[in-house]
């Protein structure tokens, strides 16, 4: 019962958080009543569970009190005549009542505490399930340390699937030399984002090997490897803090001068200077107070500040207009120098400076293009 309550509460809270997070979509599709009904059903189910539990607790407590009351009546019915007849003194009767109370109170408390213990054990079961789950860095201490990265990434016959029997990547092989830029192009669902996810070690290949500087990525410490990563994703997540705090997320101890320097490269300074509090402006949850282009510029500045060896750009300029994109492309070209970069983009302006272009279709590399400077290298 108590375990079920925990599951209902978790589901209800998750649904409420999801609805509030997507409130604009809910309102845009006039789904308020539908979401309200869904929440009401969950709340009613939780209420019934709590009512059932409280009924059980109340019944147990009432039964215990009834037993104690019955014992008290028996003592009075038996002890009263004995006192009257002189076989027992009032002190003796009082002593019996006192001893009976001392024995009964722990029983009543045990009945009440028993329900709390049951609820606690239900919570402990859920905690144990979470604690027993293996994390991705569970064996990190046993893996090979990675003190330095040059940046060469190589895929050898990599296969991957989310659902069994439905491969998303099929026998993918390519090499991205250190300091080069590799552009990934293809239709939606062709496997571009999955390939990037594998390169960041968020997923692991079903078969094949991913190498970093000639070493199997699966044998390297995740923390070491990811410390060299810089990421600008298509859906840029900002925390409910200031502009400066969001930029400095990749380097918590960055000075204000460093933050301003990367902001100029990413052209964040252009709109931040118009705010009253400038870099101390709070952006709101998920950056709701900023436009999509502004959020994207902050994400780019955050990646620049990380000074990564491996740079991931997943539609990094998709939310920008042509003028802003042209400005940021200059900053990104500077950022890519000396760094191994993976770029996912549909705009020609984003990929034309790449050292190699891989065209993916249905999880396979169907075409490759190499620049002259890469071919000479």
Give the containing element (helix H, strand E) for 226.
helix 222-226
Q: Taking a C-beta distance cutoff of 8 angstroms, is the pair 176, 182 a contact?
A: yes
Q: Which of 77-86, 112-121, 139-148 has the lowest mean pLDDT?
A: 112-121
- Of 310, 286, 350, 298, nearest in space to 220 by CA: 310
pLDDT at 350: 62
- Of 243, 196, 235, nearest in space to 319 by CA: 235
pLDDT at 96: 76
Which overall architecture, per CATH, does domain 2-132 show?
Up-down Bundle (1.20)
pLDDT at 340: 87
pLDDT at 376: 37
Q: What is the pLDDT of residues 126-158, one digit of tens each?
A: 777 777 777 766 676 777 777 788 888 899 999
Mean pLDDT, to the nearest integer, of 165-191?
87
For residue 346, is pLDDT > 60?
yes
- Of 177, 180, 167, nearest in space to 211 by CA: 177
CA distance 229 to 223: 10
For residue 66, is pLDDT > 70?
yes
Residue 375: pLDDT band by 50, 70, 90 thresholds?
very low
The two three-digit tokens of residue 259, written as one number: 């933050």
Handedness of CA 27, 29, 32, 35 (dihedral sign): negative
Mean pLDDT, to the nearest integer, of 5-17?
71
For residue 266, is pLDDT > 70?
yes
Q: Measured between alpha carbons, how far is residue 113 from residues 62, 116, 227, 311 in Å?
A: 14, 5, 49, 56
The CATH homologous superfamily for domain 153-376 is P-loop containing nucleotide triphosphate hydrolases (3.40.50.300)
Mean pLDDT, to the nearest integer, of 348-361?
78
Phi, psi for residue 227 in degrees, rounded to 5: -70, -15
CA distance 131 to 333: 44
For residue 36, is pLDDT > 60?
yes
Q: What is the pLDDT of residues 288-333, one digit of tens each?
A: 788 777 888 888 888 888 888 888 887 766 656 666 666 666 666 6
The two three-digit tokens of residue 65, written as one number: 């009190």
Ordered by start, the domain boundaries in the chain are: 2-132, 153-376
pTM for this entry: 0.66
pLDDT at 328: 66
Neighbours of 138 (CB within 10 A): 9
For residue 374, is pLDDT > 60?
no
Mean pLDDT, to the nearest integer, of 40-45?
82
pLDDT at 377: 39
Phi, psi for residue 74 in degrees, rounded to 5: -60, -40
For residue 180, is pLDDT > 50?
yes
Mean pLDDT, to the nearest integer, of 264-281?
85
């Amino acid at each position: 019962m108590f375990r079920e309550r925990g599951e209902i509460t978790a589901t209800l809270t998750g649904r409420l958080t999801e609805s509030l997070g997507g409130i604009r979509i809910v309102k845009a599709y006039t789904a308020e009543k539908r979401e309200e009904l869904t929440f009401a059903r969950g709340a009613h189910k939780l209420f019934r569970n709590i009512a059932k539990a409280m009924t059980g607790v109340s019944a147990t407590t009432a039964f215990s009190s009834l037993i104690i009351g019955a014992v008290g009546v028996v003592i009075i019915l038996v002890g009263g005549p004995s006192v009257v007849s002189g076989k027992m003194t009032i002190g003796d009767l009082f002593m019996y009542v006192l001893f009976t109370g001392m024995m009964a109170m722990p029983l009543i408390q045990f009945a009440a505490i028993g329900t709390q213990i049951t609820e606690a054990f239900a919570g402990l079961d859920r905690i144990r399930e979470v604690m027993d789950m293996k994390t991705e860095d569970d064996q990190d201490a046993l893996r090979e340390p990675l003190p330095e990265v040059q940046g060469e990434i190589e895929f050898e016959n990599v296969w991957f699937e989310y659902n069994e029997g439905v491969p998303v990547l099929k026998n993918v092989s390519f090499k991205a030399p250190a300091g080069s830029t590799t552009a990934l192009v293809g239709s939606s669902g062709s496997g571009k984002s999955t390939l990037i996810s594998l390169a960041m070690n968020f997923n692991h290949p079903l078969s094949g090997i991913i190498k970093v500087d000639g070493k199997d990525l699966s044998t390297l410490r995740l923390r070491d490897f990811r410390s060299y990563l810089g990421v600008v994703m298509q859906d840029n997540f900002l925390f409910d803090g200031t502009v400066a705090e969001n930029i400095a997320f990749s380097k918590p101890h960055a000075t204000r001068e460093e933050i301003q320097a990367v902001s100029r490269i990413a052209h964040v300074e252009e709109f931040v200077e118009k705010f009253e509090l400038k870099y101390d402006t709070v952006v709101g949850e998920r950056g709701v107070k900023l436009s999509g282009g502004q959020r994207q510029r902050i994400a780019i500045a955050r990646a620049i500040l990380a000074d990564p060896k491996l740079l991931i750009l997943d539609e990094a300029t998709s939310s920008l207009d042509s003028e802003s994109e042209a400005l940021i492309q200059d900053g990104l070209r500077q950022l890519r120098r000396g760094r191994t970069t993976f770029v996912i983009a549909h705009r020609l302006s984003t990929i034309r400076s790449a050292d190699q272009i891989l065209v993916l279709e249905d999880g396979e590399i169907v075409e490759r293009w190499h620049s002259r400077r890469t071919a000479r290298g």
